[in-house]
Structure 1
Amino acid sequence: MEWLKERIIKEGVVLSEQVLKLDALLTHQVDPALIMEMGREFAARFKESGVTKVVTLESSGISVAFAAAFELGVPMVFARRKKTLLADPDALCERVPSFTKGIVTDIMVSRQFIGEHDKVLFIDDIIANGDAARGLIKIIDRAGAELIGLGVVIEKSFQAGARTLREQNVHVESLVTISSLEDGKISFS
């Protein structure tokens, strides 16, 4: 994924030794060709797994999850972060902290969109501490669905999120792994 590393170096902004801002690439603006290429890569990595649904969190993971779902020919479901007047009162909910946002939110998925017959591929943009990922994995489990794996665009290996999920036997596939943001420099594993 050298092309993705090049884009991260060119367009990413290191805000601290813990935070990489990717507004120009993933979180505010997206390049459709790049997003579709990421979706093809995740689809290739999980194509033999029998995926029936792709899930993600609102909002930065939606574009990549959509591309993966499109390539796999399955529906995409995203967990909402805010309740609306039309929200399913019986939705599966989990309270999770957000590393980048610095807040705690509720994430929710309607029971009608994920169930015991589903084989779920979870796609996320970035994994740091993994709190939001663990929350969505709990929702998938409570729905009775089978988690096939977690596809992550960028894994920050200097934070514990992906490592702890792997220790819990979650199949994690990362397109790019960043080992450090020290001294304002992006270092890849």
Structure 2
Amino acid sequence: MEQLKQRILEEASILSTDVLKLDRLLNHQVDPELTMEMGREFARRFEGEGITKVITIESSGIPIAFATALTLGVPLVFARRKKTLLAEPDAYSERVPSFTKGIVTDLMVSRQLLSPDDVLLYIDDIIANGDAAKGLIRIIERSGAKLAGLGIAVEKTFQPGGRLIREQGIRVESLVRIASLADGKIAFE
């Protein structure tokens, strides 16, 4: 997706050879038109898959997942990272490390929101090591729902996340694939 690549070159910050800061695009500030364009592209790529719901993890995945769900005309479900007073005690839950946040969190999805009749499209902003994705995939598997695939706005291919998910036989569609952040430069595949 050329528009997203261009915006990354103009607005992203390289913090290290592993970390790309996308606060002006995806993680802190959201460009509604770019976000809708990403949602339309994911909807196009997964058209005809019988998607019944889009699923993501709070919080950075929500805008793109919302745009995708709106385009597909289906509900959006997001995994929470924090328990609330209203959380179900028997919600689906997985403990996962977060590469970006440097902490371990619990992903939780209400059992009432997923069923074996669902065909889910998992949308997220970035994949690095894939730990959060693997955790949400385990929740989806336990629910009995079918996973049509994973749509990622930015895949860092120099980290193993996308490859590990593909090795599980899961379709992964990335809008932008970054091969390297070496020498302070973004190298796209």
Per-residue displacement from partner, 1:7-29 (whole Å, max 9, x unpaired)?
A: 00111000000000000000000
What is the TM-score when the length of structure 2 is the normalising length? 0.99
Quick one: which amino acid aligns to residue 92 of structure 2? L
Distance in 1 of aligned mates of 2:47 and 2:108 = 27
| 1:54-69 aligned within 5 A | 54-69=54-69
- Identical residues among aligned pairs (%): 68
Quick one: which amino acid aligns to residue 74 of structure 1? V
Distance in 1 of aligned mates of 2:88 and 2:79 = 12
Q: What is the aligned-residue RMSD (CA, Å)?
A: 0.4
What is aligned with 1:86? 86
What is aligned with 1:188? 188
Distance in 2 of aligned mates of 1:168 and 1:182 = 29
Specify every segment of 5 or more residues in structure 2 that has no aligned partner in the other structure, as ranges: none
Quick one: which amino acid aligns to residue 165 of structure 2? L
What is aligned with 1:113? 113
What is the TM-score when the length of structure 1 is the normalising length? 0.99
The structural deviation recorded for 1:157 is: 0.3
Figure out how many residues of one structure are paired with residues of the other and give that number. 189
The structural deviation recorded for 1:88 is: 1.1
| 1:1-189 aligned within 5 A | 1-189=1-189
The structural deviation recorded for 1:90 is: 1.4
SS, match of residue 51 in structure 2: coil
The structural deviation recorded for 1:47 is: 1.2
Distance in 2 of aligned mates of 1:144 and 1:179 = 34
Distance in 1 of aligned mates of 2:45 and 2:16 = 32
Quick one: which amino acid aligns to residue 63 of structure 1? P
Give the 4+ runs in structure 1 shifted more than 4 A: none
